[in-house]
């Protein structure tokens, strides 16, 4: 009898149990703690095999349908994880990674930001759509502007004295 119940449960989770038997199984086992544990364990195994957190669609739909009839029974009780499954090396490293990620996210949010005065002025207006960034025509005056910038900047082109006609600009 016990084996039948578990076989039915397994078949239900695999979507192979017909609706009537499925509803009957739920009704029979709604207060059965062992059944709740097995329900959780089977789902966990299924999720791991499928690498998914969602149950199969067919089961999902059938559970929803059953919920309408038995609104109080379908959520298994909170079942503590067995200690043996909790302390696997994989889980331990996952816990380390999760902790580091949480700390990184929280500290990134809390990191000091520039003074408000900075922020007020550091807002750069978004580039307007009419600014053509992709292969615009070459500006024939670019060399002139670059030469003038180099000769006028105390830092840019600091070492090279440009040998260009533009350096002989005269006062206007």
Partner 1 sequence: MVIKIMSRLYLFFSLLGILWVHPAWAEPDQEDGLRILRQMGTAAHDQAYSGVYVMQRGSVMESAHVAHAVINGVERTRVDILDGHPRQIIRTAEETRCYYPMQKKVRLEKGFTRRLFPALIEAPYEHYADFYEVSQRGMNRVAGRDCQRIYFHARDRQRYDHEFCADAQTHLILKAVTYDLQKQPIETLLFTEISEGPRPSVDSLKTTYDDVTQWQQVHFPLAGGDKEADRWSIPVIPPGFKKILEMSLVAKGPSSGAMQHWVYSDGLSSFSVFVKSAEEGEGHGSQARILSSALSYYSGFVGNQRVVVLGEVPQETAVAIGQSIRVKEEISP
Residues in touch with partner 1 (CB under 8 A): 83, 86-87, 91-92, 95-96, 98-100, 102-104, 106-107, 110-112, 114, 117-118, 121-122, 124-125, 127-128, 130-133, 136-137, 139-149, 151-156, 158-161, 163-172
Give 113's DSSP letter.
-
Write down the least CB distance from residue 124 to partner 1, Å: 4
Q: How long, in residues, is the chain?
A: 172
Q: Are 40 and 76 in contact (CB under 8 A)?
A: yes
CB closer to partner 1, 24 vs 87: 87
CB closer to partner 1, 57 vs 90: 90
CB closer to partner 1, 34 vs 47: 47
Q: Are 13 and 59 in contact (CB under 8 A)?
A: yes
Burial 99-121 (b: 16+ CB within 10 A, else e): eeeeeeeeeeeeeeeeeeeeeee
């Amino acid at each position: 009898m016990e084996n039948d119940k578990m076989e039915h449960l397994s078949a239900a989770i695999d979507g192979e149990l017909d609706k009537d038997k499925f509803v009957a199984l739920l009704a029979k086992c709604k207060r059965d703690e062992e059944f709740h544990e097995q329900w959780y364990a089977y789902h966990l195994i299924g999720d791991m095999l499928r690498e998914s957190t969602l149950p199969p669609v067919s089961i999902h739909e059938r559970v929803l349908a059953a919920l309408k009839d038995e609104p109080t029974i379908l959520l298994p009780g909170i079942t503590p994880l067995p200690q043996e499954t909790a302390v696997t090396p994989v889980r331990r490293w996952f816990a380390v990674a999760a902790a580091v990620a949480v700390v990184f996210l929280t500290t990134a949010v809390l990191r000091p930001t520039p003074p408000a005065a900075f922020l007020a002025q550091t807002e750069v207006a978004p580039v307007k759509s009419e600014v053509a960034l992709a292969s615009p025509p070459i500006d024939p005056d670019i060399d002139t502007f670059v030469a003038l910038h180099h000769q006028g900047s105390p830092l840019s082109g600091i070492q090279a004295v440009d040998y260009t006609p533009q350096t002989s600009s005269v006062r206007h």
